[in-house]
Chain A
Amino acid sequence: MQYLLMIYQNEADYAKIDAATSKKMLEEYGAFTQSIIQSGNFKAGDRLQPISTATTVRIRDGKTLTTDGPFAETREQLGGYYLVEAKDLNAALAIAARIPGARFGSIEVRPIWVYN
């Protein structure tokens, strides 16, 4: 069976961690990721950029409503996901707008954190 493991954390607190702890955290993630790749459990996994980089898309009455920020409806809960490759934000938003769920809920579009 397949499962989605969703990592929730307090972004503001996470940003306050000192450099040494942060480095250690990164190493621990690296080690964890490698281990589940080796065990054959890994399908995909990424760190996300913070919510300040998020944009939310909804379709209502056939019109696309694009707003700054993460989705924040208390009546909506995570129901699914797509990981996509897109040229830029406009392309990603266009894809998000076509997701059937956009007509009833909200699609949050957040960039993946890329480590150089």
Chain B
Amino acid sequence: MTINSGHPMSPTEIEKLFRDEAGRALATLIRLVGDFDLAQDALQDAFAVALERWPHEEPPSNPRAWLVNVGRNKAIDRVRRQIAFRGKQDQLTHEIELNASCPDEAHEQATFDDDMLRLIFTCCHPAFATEVQVALTLRTICGLTTAQVARAFLVSEEAMAQRLLRAKQKIRLAGIPYEVPEREALEPRLNGVLAVIYLVFTEGYVATSGDGLMRPDLAREAIRLGRLLNLLVPGRGEIKGLLALMLLHDARRAGRETAAGDIVLLEEQDRSLWDFHQIAEGLQLVEEALRMPGRPQSYAVQAAIAALHARAPNFEDTDWRQIAGLYEVLMRISPSPVIELNHAAAVSMVDGPARSLDLIDAIEARGGLGGYELMPAVRADLLRRLGRRDAARAAYLAATEATQLEPLRRLYARRLAELSAES
């Protein structure tokens, strides 16, 4: 990877480049230096040098390799300075120097790729709690600062710094290896990585509360991770499926929220605001994912549903029958309250709201949806469409109680106002 050199870079340009390259550089440094913490500190040192030098000089033609080389030397400096390494300094520095990477460009790219995969699988190791996997991924692969990761989790910077520190201690003390899992182990571990990426996309690891409906920057990071994984581990339907799902959802972002931060329901969205370039990319990936041999993967099926929405010119002309059918497939391969509810909503467009209500009643009778916060809202919508205004009103009130998200509450308040206006 080379950049257009010839002019000194501004601090902003340097920071952007650093964000883009840090993950890759760190991944290789960890392998060279043999220690997560040391590698991260050394990379920070290298970044400081870059900030100091690049505004005044011609920046290097291969910034990633530059960061690795300078980082490695900084690691050696640190080893020499640290008392804890006393007595082993010569041995350690000798090892670091021996681990010099090959100067051949093509080989170098493959090496960077392998190192990146190692880093991804290490961050997403099941020995870490899921939130820790997400935090590690955001910090080391996406290159977010500790403060930014803390904000993503709605915790203090100190709390996040502690969490990350403990995680790195566990790597060292429990002997979590820096490697890509072998054959039989690869698939379940890959599913773990995909789950983390999806959590970053949906921010499913934070309490759903607060003023904002969406935080686009994290969705971008998740898509970036998905693209990276698709590049590094090609030909896997579940990766293509997840990437397609994220691209298709994200493509509709502009239509989902008003400037004031209110929700625009799918049926009311201005579809011309959707990103059709991204939709096209998503549709292509769905095709590829569904053509892969083997059982259908959950992400691919979810993406197929998103594709049907993305393709439809408007809400009424959406292929609801196919969508309902796809939800039935999902209910078999990865059942969950959300899936059942979405299936019922799709059924309401095919067989009418009454039939859909029957389905929801049946699920509740089975004890399936108790406490799920969006259930009263779906009920309320169906009751509203059936003209059962009092029941709808009660359901919208229940829906307001059940959620912490401000934009959703405002939506329910609007619905309640509409119901009052009609009577």
Spell out A's residues near B (CB within 8 Å).
49, 52-55, 63-64, 66-69, 87-90, 92-94, 110-111
Contacts and interface: CB of A to CB of B under 8 A. Distances in A.
A87 B176 CA distance: 10
Interface residues of B, number: 17
A111 B126 contact: no
A52 B188 CA distance: 24
A52 B179 contact: no
Given A52-B169, A111-B173, A90 B179 contact: yes
B128 A68 contact: yes
A89 B176 contact: yes
Contact of B126 (A53, A54, A66): A66
Contacts of A94: 185
Interface string B173-196: 111110101000100100000000
Nearest to B181: A90
A110 B127 CA distance: 11
Nearest to A109: B174
Identify which of A53, A55, A67, A69 gathers the most chain B CB atoms within 10 Å of its CB: A53
Contacts of B175: 88-89, 92, 111
B177 A68 contact: no
B385 interface: no
Interface string B153-171: 0000000000000100110
A68 B129 contact: yes
Given A52-B169, A90-B181, A66 B127 contact: yes
Contacts of B127: 55, 66, 68, 89, 93
A69 B173 contact: no
A33 B292 CA distance: 60
14 contacts: A52-B166, A53-B169, A54-B174, A63-B188, A68-B128, A68-B129, A68-B132, A87-B177, A88-B177, A89-B174, A89-B175, A89-B176, A92-B175, A110-B174
A111 B174 CA distance: 5
Given A52-B166, A64-B188, A66-B126, A89 B132 contact: no
Nearest to B130: A68
Given A66-B126, A90-B181, A55 B174 contact: yes
A49 B181 CA distance: 25
A77 B244 CA distance: 46
A88 B176 contact: yes
A49 B173 contact: yes
Contacts of A55: 126-127, 174
Interface string B376-404: 00000000000000000000000000000
Nearest 8 CB-CB pairings of A with B = A66-B126, A88-B177, A55-B127, A68-B129, A53-B174, A53-B173, A88-B175, A89-B175
Contacts of B177: 87-90
Contacts of B185: 90, 94
Interface string B93-131: 000000000000000000000000000000000111100
Kindly name the residue among A49, A87, A88, A90 whose own CB sees the greatest number of chain B CB atoms within 10 A: A90
Contacts of B179: 90
B269 to A, nearest CB: 40
Contacts of A111: 173-175
Contacts of B173: 49, 53, 111
A55 B170 CA distance: 10
A67 B174 CA distance: 13
Contacts of B176: 88-90
Contacts of B169: 52-53
Chain A CB count within 10 A is highest, among B128, B175, B185, for: B175
Contacts of A92: 175
A89 B185 CA distance: 14
Contacts of B181: 90
Contacts of A93: 127
A85 to B, nearest CB: 12
A69 B169 CA distance: 14
Nearest to B171: A89
B126 A67 contact: yes
Contacts of A66: 126-127
A67 to B, nearest CB: 7
Nearest to B166: A52
A53 B126 CA distance: 13
A53 B173 CA distance: 7
A67 B185 CA distance: 15
Contact of B170 (A53, A67, A90): A53
A90 B180 CA distance: 11
